[in-house]
Every structure is written in C-alpha cells, then in structure tokens.
Structure 1
Amino acid sequence: MEVDELLGELRRRGATLATAESLTGGRLAARITTVPGASRTFLGGVVAYASDAKQHLLGVPAGLVARHGVVSAECARAMAEGARAALGATWAVSTTGVAGPDEQEGKPVGTVFVGVAGPTGTTVVALELVGDREAVQERTCREAVSALGARLHGEEPGLR
C-alpha cells in the first residue's frame, strides 16, 4: 500500500494517525506529510532516538528498556501505544531497531520492529532487513505503511 492510499483509507474512516520513530529519525513522518491533504489525518509524530526520550516522551517504562532493550518488540509496542495516547490518535505506528553501521544491544544491523497500535489493540512486526543504513531506514518506512494498511484491512501481521 502506498502512503496516499493509506491516508485516503484513514480519511474515509474518519481516523487519525500518529508516529513514534527511532531508527527512521522522522523519515516516516516526512513521507506521510509529502502527501497533499495529509493534515486531515496525520496528527503528528515523535522522534525519540535516545532511550531517555522514549521513556519521557512516549512513556516507555524504564523497566521494559532494562529488561528487553529498545531493539525489541516490547519497546515497539510501548512506543506505538505511547504515541497513540500522547497525540490522541486512532492509530499510531512506531519504528525501532538497528540501522547500522554497528550492532546494538547484541542485535545485528537490520533487526527492526514496527508497532501498530489501534482501537483493537497493538501488533508488532519483526523484520530482518539487509542493506546499508539508508536502505534499512527506507525499507522500514515502507514496512510501517504496509503494516498499518494490513491492520486496516483486517489482517494481523507480526507478533501479538
């Protein structure tokens, strides 16, 4: 699904969207806002690159970070739920993982988690991507759009 199609579907449903980004550093929000009329659906996003920012801006519990790390399904879930609550959105999408060039928390480059929080709960998609830093970030953005599109069409991708 393309971003314009996703925003059109959200608009038809009267739904809103928020983002919580780490490894994509705002690329997802930038991609969304290139679509004319995005402001009818997109409420905003939080770029929480550092662990402290995830905790303070998105409400990711310190204990969760200590137990599972920020490169985890649990963190992606908490980030998406935190963005949805903070911005009052119908849906929120989060991105966290390792874009490179080095591993993080013992996880290799390309380890990515995308969270999708909505009215019926939260799902997380685990990805193992290949490529350089830019390729991992760009592919993560595409996968995030795809994951939300799947949820809107009744599919449940990823981990529960």
Structure 2
Amino acid sequence: MVEPTDLALAEVLGELGDSLAERGLKVATAESCTGGWVAKVLTDRPGSSVYMDCGIVTYSNAAKVGLLGVSENVLDRFGAVSEPVAREMALGALAVSQADLSVAITGVAGPGGGTEEKPVGTVWFAWGRRGDQPEAASAHFEGDRDSIRRQAVLFALKGLQGLLR
C-alpha cells in the first residue's frame, strides 16, 4: 500500500485546478464515506472559487435520496456502496448545482460496516460531465479509516483529471 501524502494530493490538485480554471469548468462533489474531504482538498487551493461550485455530503441514505435524488429502489436493490448509487449521486450533484463536472464517492471506510460482499475498504466512484452518463469505477483500499479515506480522495481527484483528458 502506498499512502498518499499531502504533497501527492497537492501535486494532483495543482494540475487539476489549473486545468479546470483554464477551461472555465466548475466541479460539484457528492460524498459519503469521505465526508466532504474531496471538497475540502479542492478548496484548499487559493482561487478555488474559479472551479469549485459546491460540495454535498450525503452520509445517510435519506440524504442521498432527498438531496441528490438517488432512487430508493436503487438503494434497496444494490445498497449504498454500489455502482448504480455512485452514478446517481454524480448525476444528482450536477442536477442541483451549476457545475459542469461532478465526482461522487460512496464506500465502507471502516473499521466496521463491512460485509463479505463489500468489505471495509470497498469504495465506488463516479465522475459526471453535464449532458453525459457518468463514468464509474470501484477500488479496494487497505489500512485504517483515515488511510482508506485519504486513498479514496486521491483516487477521486485522479478520476477528475482523467475526465479532463
């Protein structure tokens, strides 16, 4: 396991922020297990108001439904930690914001809450672009709660970089 450092996050953020600003694009985040950490990192950079629209933390299923429009049927069928929910979170963030791009994260950061099917460290991501269907990916991270969340933040930011390429 390679633990993302603050320097690694800063490097990714610097490149991402420059790219977003140059293109005049704004981002919205929809976060569950990271609790707003992606939005925090995106706004750590001076001048981030040029590219950051909003961050929405939807930790509970009710918040996912009420704030992002995630379908209760999708939550019941697949569970909160799933590709369909991540995709709906990304679409919901775009629907309720003025952003051009979105990133959504839902996972099991631990130390409890994992199952055999979705063990601690399982995280689903989705990256949306207004007018397109979101791209999604899952990852499994090792470590304690802080480490899993930190790795998820870096993965989410790298995914946004990929969306811009």
Same fold (TM over 0.5): yes
SS at match of 1:2: helix
2:94 and 2:18 map into 1 onto residues whose CA distance is: 19
2:122 corresponds to 1:111: yes
Tell me if structure 1 keeps the 8 A contact 2:24–2:50.
Answer: no
| Equivalent residue, structure 2, for 1:86 | 96
| Equivalent residue, structure 2, for 1:3 | 13
Match of 1:29 among 36, 39, 48: 39
| Equivalent residue, structure 2, for 1:100 | 110
2:101 and 2:114 map into 1 onto residues whose CA distance is: 28
> How far 1:104 sits from its partner (Å)?
3.8
Tell me if structure 1 keeps the 8 A contact 2:30–2:103.
Answer: yes
- The letter for the 1-side match of 2:137 is V
Match of 1:123 among 135, 138, 151: 135
> How far 1:91 sits from its partner (Å)?
0.1
SS at match of 2:77: helix
1:33-56 deviation per Cα after TM superposition (whole angstroms, max 9, x unaligned): 100100011001100000000000
Query: Structure 2: any 5+ residue segments left out of the alignment?
Result: 1-10
- The letter for the 1-side match of 2:119 is P
Aligned-residue CA RMSD (Å):
1.2
| Equivalent residue, structure 2, for 1:68 | 78
- The letter for the 1-side match of 2:78 is H
After TM superposition, the score normalised by the length of structure 2 is 0.89
- The letter for the 2-side match of 1:132 is D
1:74-112 deviation per Cα after TM superposition (whole angstroms, max 9, x unaligned): 111000110011112100001100000113465100100
Alignment coverage as a number of residue pairs: 153
